[in-house]
Amino acid sequence: MKKYKMEAVVGIFVFLGLLCIGYMTVKLGNVSFLEDDSYPIEAKFLSVTGLRIDSSVKALGIEVGKVKKITMDQESQKAVVKMRIKKGVKIYDDAIASIKTEGLMGDKYVSIDLGGGGSLIEANGTIVETQAPLDIEGLISKYAFGDVKKQ
């Protein structure tokens, strides 16, 4: 009888440990099982160099979403960035999306200027005005090898 009691206590302890590990994995990994608190939008860029899936989407310096998919549109020869934006964030049809860098050598993220005139972008809508990322490496190489002209 004592043997079964000890096995039961160990089993309960292991179960609770696995439950805690699962909870921490979901919380720290920012995993969301139900994505009903966000809506999808997309933007088309000439270049998305350095941008990755799960990169941040920021507006006014605040994270308002995540990049969910990056594909290529063969017809327009542009990269299509599909994002999920939190429900309370209003983005207008004159919004501008640009790809920026956090810090000097940091990760890339999508910055959205929310706009203010016109109508709201609905779910599955598209941000028309976009700006490609600044090519810092290209600028540094031009400066280092003397291609920059002084005026």
Per-residue pLDDT of the chain (151 residues; tens, 9 = 90+): 677 788 888 899 999 999 999 888 877 776 665 556 888 999 999 888 888 998 899 999 899 999 999 999 889 899 999 999 998 888 888 889 999 888 777 788 999 998 887 788 888 888 888 887 777 777 777 777 776 565 5
The residue range of the domain holding 17 is: 1-31
Residue 56 is assigned to a structural domain of this protein:
yes
Residues 58 and 98 in one domain: yes
- Report pLDDT for 22: 87
For position 35, what pLDDT does the model report? 54
The DSSP secondary-structure symbol of 92 reads B
Non-local (6+) Cβ contacts of 44 within 8 A are 73, 76, 78, 79, 80, 81, 126, 130
Rounded Cα distance, 4 and 10, in Å? 10
Q: Could you tell me if 112 and 80 lie in one domain?
A: yes
Q: Tell whether 79 and 55 lie within a shared domain.
A: yes
Question: Are residues 27 and 47 located together in one domain of the fold?
Answer: no
Q: Within a domain: residue 100?
A: yes
In a domain, 3, yes or no: yes
